[in-house]
Amino acid sequence: MEAWLGLGSNLQQPVAQLRRALKGLSATRGIELTKVSSFYSTPPWGDEEQDDFVNAVAQIETDLEPVPLLHALQSIEDVMGRERSDHRWGPRLIDIDLLLYADRIFRSAELELPHPRMQERAFVLLPLSQLDGKLNIPGYGRVDTLLSGLDYSGITRLGSGHME
């Protein structure tokens, strides 16, 4: 099944953290990394009193169902040293979000698909549009159309990302 992931970090060499997360994804049973966007420097969202983030999007093929996939992503974050707190939108060593799982709309106590508010976030839609601007976000529309309504002027492409 095709799924899309958002990756972000703004602590301890964020580019290195994203590369490490991508290696963790590639090494995880049931996950095949198929595409990775460039890395982007993005201003913080929500709590603006912190360093800029480095964000990217990855497309994967997986045989894991959504909740077990979420648990696999959280396991990679835990191994990398992510500390979870109640501070929303705060600094992150690593954040791996399950954005989309095929065209499923899904809600449970631990997971909501599509990822909540992804359609409002240029730091998600810009790298996603690089990989597939015509991708449909169930219930919201095409990535390129959604991105055209957002201000992404503060986001800078850092290069081709994980291969550099």
Name the domain count of the chain. 1
pTM of the model: 0.93
Per-residue pLDDT of 103-116, as tens digits, reads 999 999 999 999 99
Q: Does residue 29 lie within any of the structural domains?
A: yes
CATH number at residue 12: 3.30.70.560
Annotated catalytic residues are: 82, 92, 95, 97
Position 141 in a domain: yes
Residue 97 belongs to some domain of the structure: yes
pLDDT (tens digit, 9 = 90+) per residue, 37-63? 999 999 987 666 789 999 999 999 999
- Cα dist. 90→76, 99, 131, 138 in Å? 19, 19, 27, 28
Q: Compute the distance between CA of residue 109 and CA of residue 12 in angstroms, rounded to an integer.
A: 31
Partner residues linked to 96 by β-bridges: 7
Q: Answer whether residue 164 is part of any domain.
A: no
Domain residues for the domain of 86 are 2-159
